[in-house]
DNA sequence: TGCGGTTATCTTAATGACTAAGATAACTTT
DNA sequence: AAAGTTATCTTAGTCATTAAGATAACCGCA
């Protein structure tokens, strides 16, 4: 149909490779995250929470519950854990005293990054072997994958209006 | 240093974009997996086990324990769950009667694929927009990322001989 | 053949994160 | 000030998981 008809088999097999590699990478990224959490003596939820706090600097318990897909009750005990371990400071919002404002203790932030350092270094080396176009292709691809995940999550949670193509 | 010096800032920002997008995608893939498991009324470990069985056709309890990073005790009760739910058949190996051989019931396999179907369809559409070179770049990238994950997992679990660069 | 050592799984008890339901406290509107 | 809403906490119970050890089966060797 398009150019390169004679390469269709190669293309089909490349696509199959890509799909398989994508699934396997997704699985490994999850195993990796579990391993990091275990190494830090945390649960994956704890790690998720701390990563979130590193991003946003401070959040309320309710925001954390939403982000981590936990109930507020679970967040309460998670925050107790994380406070006890000294990762986090929690205090009531003076402006709205129902709210609990949680912040990551900055002196502990580096400690959370440490297990990722080896990975980050390797990733950087890998990416430095790419030219700008390749980097942009990858980033654009990741962004599109993100959009897909979000759309599918929406579909899974609210009804499932079947990804309409037409 | 190399060609395209004047594009260095664009390149640096593209790299930053890629790293950020990669992290976010990894996070979303995990959230997605949790959502799928929840929709099927399974734990993530159950899903991992069933995906594994779909790959290998049959495995012993011990192999499943290794693959899922669970203790054999946890695998025992997981298998009870999965048998009860009819996903899996488990029987002793006649050749070595200590072993329990587990197989996925083929008639239930499709059911497990269903939640992924929307995602798979979208992914296929996305990939069909790429040319062969792009697909191969992506697949190669994924393969390298897999290798990185495996190397880092090794480092995390056995000592940590610090990813030597020099 | 039978004995020691090893392997593979299962059992049991305890742990701990999580959920659901509802209580408490604080803010907002009228 | 009362009613309604919002944000978090409490409590009780569930369930996957772990750790330790029991059980059963295999293998090699005397």
The answer to whether position B57 is within a domain reads yes
Tell whether the model's pLDDT for residue B150 goes beyond 80.
Answer: yes
Tell whether the model's pLDDT for residue B25 goes beyond 50.
Answer: yes
The answer to whether position B61 is within a domain reads yes
Residue count of chain B: 166
- Collapsing DSSP to helix, strand or coil, A151 comes out as helix
List the single residue in A29, A30, A163 with the smallest CB-CB distance to B122: A163
Could you report the per-residue pLDDT of A45-91, keeping only the tens digit for each?
999 999 999 999 999 999 999 999 999 999 999 999 999 999 999 99
The answer to whether position A140 is within a domain reads no
Question: B28 — contact with chain A (CB < 8 Å)?
Answer: yes
Residue A83: CA count within 13 A, CB half-sphere: 13
The total number of structural domains that make up chain B: 1
The answer to whether position A110 is within a domain reads yes
**Cβ–Cβ gap B139/A18 under 8 Å:** yes
**Cβ–Cβ gap A165/B24 under 8 Å:** no
Determine if strand D comes within 7 Å of the CB of A76. Answer: yes
The answer to whether position B159 is within a domain reads no
Other residues' Cβ atoms within 10 Å of the Cβ of residue B116: 16
- In chain B, residues 79-138 whose CB comes closer than 8 Å to chain A: 115, 118-128, 131-132, 134-138
Identify the CATH number of the domain in which residue A45 sits: 1.10.10.10
The answer to whether position A122 is within a domain reads yes
Q: In terms of residue numbers, what domain contains A90?
A: 5-129
Question: A66 — contact with chain B (CB < 8 Å)?
Answer: no
The answer to whether position A40 is within a domain reads yes
Residue B92 pairs in a beta bridge with B100
Could you report the per-residue pLDDT of A4-14, keeping only the tens digit for each?
455 678 888 99
Chain centre to alpha carbon of residue B9: 35
The answer to whether position B86 is within a domain reads yes
The alpha-carbon gap from B129 to the nearest alpha carbon of chain A, in Å, equals: 11
> A157 falls in which pLDDT band (50, 70, 90)?
confident
């Amino acid at each position: 149909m398009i150019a390169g008809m004679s390469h269709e088999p190669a293309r089909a097999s490349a696509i199959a490779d890509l799909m398989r590699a994508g699934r396997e990478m997704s699985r490994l990224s999850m195993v990796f995250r579990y391993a990091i959490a275990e190494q830090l003596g945390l649960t994956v939820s704890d790690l998720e929470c701390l990563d979130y706090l590193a991003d946003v600097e401070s959040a309320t318990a309710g925001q954390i519950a939403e982000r981590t897909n936990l109930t507020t009750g679970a967040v309460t005990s998670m925050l107790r854990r994380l406070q006890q371990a000294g990762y986090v400071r929690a205090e009531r919002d003076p402006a709205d005293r129902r709210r609990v404002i949680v912040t990551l203790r900055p002196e502990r932030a580096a400690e959370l990054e440490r297990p990722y350092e080896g990975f980050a270094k390797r990733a950087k080396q890998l990416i430095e072997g790419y030219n700008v176009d390749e980097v942009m292709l990858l980033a654009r691809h990741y962004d599109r994958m993100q959009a897909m995940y979000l759309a599918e999550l929406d579909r899974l949670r609210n009804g499932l209006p079947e990804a309409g193509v037409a």
